[in-house]
Amino acid sequence: MSLAHVDPEIADLIKAEERRQADTVKLIPSENYVSKAVLEATGTVLTNKYSEGYAGKRYYEGQQVIDQIETLAIERAKSLFGVNHANVQPYSGSPANLAVYLAFASPGDTVMGMGLPFGGHLTHGWSVSATGKWFNPVRYGVRRDTGRIDMDEVRELALEHRPKLIFCGGTAIPRRIDFAAFASIAQEVGAVLAADIAHIAGLVAGGAHPSPVGHADVISTTTHKTLRGPRGAMLMATSDEHATALNKAVFPGLQGGPHNHTTAAIAVALKEAAAPEFAAYANQVVANAKALADELLARGFDLVSGGTDNHLILIDLTSKGVAGKPAAKALDRAGLETNYNTVPFDPRKPFDPSGIRIGTPSVTSRGMGEAEMRQIAAWMDEVVTAVAKDDAEEIVTRVHREVSALTAAFPAPGLS
């Protein structure tokens, strides 16, 4: 029996969410639209199968097909990123990172990562995360004058604290990560370097951001952000030794059975990401972000680090006289979906911060280009300016109408 028959309530809600996604200009930089093919692989009978272990060494029988699927996903990941080893089983980015800790550190060990308010991820040792509670985290940030990572500070902190593990990468970093500089610091102090490319994996795969391969000991990534796959994650390594430690950490260290329907969808997304059109997509994501940033700057917005090298823009709204949360809420009512975000050295609280974070992976997946980015910047300017004057409703209504015309002209992949 169909979903609509068994559970019309959930079926209707899924339809409503599909409509919402179709009608919104999605600017959240960690999201994307997967293809119909990826969606199809996700909703399959593979969800019925238990496969604890790895191909050829499982703890359940009946793996004739699953072994082939997981092996295909692994081979595609290795070939796409140019690594010797890949593990496609982590349930998501956070458990993948936890596996990195389990593989290379013990509770109480010193670890280093970017502080959350500067653009790091919770799992890079932030206090409320298990990684901050069970390990001794040392945090680096960005320079106040440039908004960029201060590699001198990273080196000084590493020499002083001698971490076992260093994370680079993050969730709100609008600039290139200097993997070579991190690698030389990690080598100097004998730390394992983990490059967390969750946000930029699609750009790396498409050649629009330098690769950590050859610099980082281990690479962690989600599969659902710029990589445009299902919700999931992968861990990659070059050396046998690091790969063995990661595999043991994922299973049996941290997880039970892998989500085989997700593994199949990851394999599909990796195949798509190896196609020439995906490289064009990745480069257009960056070109769109630059166009959006340029137009926002021209309209007097204050961008952290003064712009972007990748898919992401962090806006400090202080100069516009409005906080991040009311701006994000008004933009959402106008059909422009963003998220409010802390900015470096934010004087406001994380739940009511000074900034918003936007990005171009989703709008680029819809086929939008630089002209549409300039239009989006103009709408953002109108709405934010109106919110600052406490007189937004009329403008929000008009912008929403105009946004609907744009989304209708650029249908999103995977939606009907």
Ligand X SMILES: *Cc1c(COP(=O)(O)O)cnc(C)c1O
> Which residues in this chain contact ligand X in the complex, by CB under 6 A?
30, 92-94, 97, 121, 123, 169-171, 196, 198-199, 222
71 is a catalytic site residue: no
52 is a catalytic site residue: yes
Q: Residue 175 and residue 200: Cα distance in Å, rounded?
A: 11
Closest CB 198 distance from ligand X, rounded Å: 3
225 is a catalytic site residue: yes
Closest CB 284 distance from ligand X, rounded Å: 21
Cis peptide before 252 (omega within 30 of 0): yes
Task: Please identify which of the residues 31, 52, 67, 150 carries the catalytic annotation.
Answer: 52
Q: Do 320 and 326 meet the contact criterion of CB atoms below 8 Å apart?
A: no
Task: Please identify which of the residues 40, 50, 162, 374 carries the catalytic annotation.
Answer: 50
Closest CB 120 distance from ligand X, rounded Å: 8
57's CB contacts (< 8 A; 6+ apart) are none
Task: Please identify which of the residues 164, 225, 290, 325 carries the catalytic annotation.
Answer: 225
Task: Please identify which of the residues 222, 238, 262, 263 carries the catalytic annotation.
Answer: 222
Complex with ligand X: residue 93 or 414, whichever CB lies closer: 93
Closest CB 42 distance from ligand X, rounded Å: 15
DSSP 8-state assignment for residue 311: S
Closest-approach residue to ligand X (CB): 93
Per-residue burial over 312-329, b if 16 or more Cβ lie within 10 Å, else e, is bbbbbbbebebbbbbbbe
Could you give the residue ranges of the DSSP H alpha helices within 303-369? 324-333, 361-365
Does the CA dihedral 18-22-28-32 come out positive or negative?
positive
196 is a catalytic site residue: yes
Count of CB atoms situated within 10 Å of the CB of 385: 17
**Strand residues in 68-211 grouped as ranges (E):** 85-87, 110-114, 136-140, 165-168, 192-196
Closest CB 406 distance from ligand X, rounded Å: 27
Backbone phi, psi, residue 237, to 5°: -155, 160
19 is a catalytic site residue: no
131 is a catalytic site residue: no
Which residues are catalytically annotated? Answer: 50, 52, 196, 222, 225, 231
